[in-house]
Amino acid sequence: MNAAEDPNPDRGWYYNTRTGEVEHLERSRSIDLLGPYPDEATARRALEIARERTRQADAQDAAWNGD
Residue 29, Cβ density class (10 Å: 0-12 exposed, 13-18 middle, ≥19 buried): exposed
Note whether 24 and 18 are within 8 A (CB): no
Query: In the structure, what pLDDT confidence band is assigned to residue 4 with cuts at 50, 70 and 90?
Result: low
Q: What is the pLDDT of residue 67?
A: 75
Judged by DSSP in three states, 38 sits in coil
Give the H or E element holding residue 59.
helix 46-65
pLDDT tens profile 18-31: 999 999 988 899 99
Flag whether pLDDT at 51 surpasses 80: yes
